[in-house]
Amino acid sequence: MAGWRYDLFGCFDNISLCIITYIAPCVTAGRNAELAERGDCIVCGLVSMLGPVGLYCMAKTREAVREKKGIEGSLTKDCLLSWCCAFCSLIQVARELEDGAMGQSISRT
């Protein structure tokens, strides 16, 4: 199995993503969920603001990315990272999705 391309604490390597995530983490959470095919961007972004429910949804998005990319880990670890290092975890997932975009791009009509 592979590992993450980007380090968990490499948040500041993409400063624009870092700023967006620290100001409005729901935007990054929603975008991550949509790119990982876990739901609608707006709905998932709003759900991400619901405390423990939101953290669990972010962990499930992280799990979906891990499974699709063949990255080692577990849901327990995803939940812990989403709880303890929420911003860094969101940024790591976003950067992983940006590089591969899960083979797709989002287009709105």
pLDDT tens per residue across span 20-47: 999 999 999 999 999 999 888 889 888 8
Amino acid at position 99, single letter: D
Q: What is the mean pLDDT of residues 72-87?
A: 92
Contact predicate 81/4, CB 8 Å: no
* Per-residue pLDDT, 107: 46
Contact predicate 38/44, CB 8 Å: yes
Please write the tens of the pLDDT for every residue from 85-103: 999 999 999 999 987 654 4
* Per-residue pLDDT, 101: 56
Predicted TM-score (pTM) of this structure: 0.83
Longest dimension (CA), the chain: 37
* Per-residue pLDDT, 9: 86
Residue 34 makes CB contacts below 8 A (sequence gap 6+) with 40, 41, 44, 106
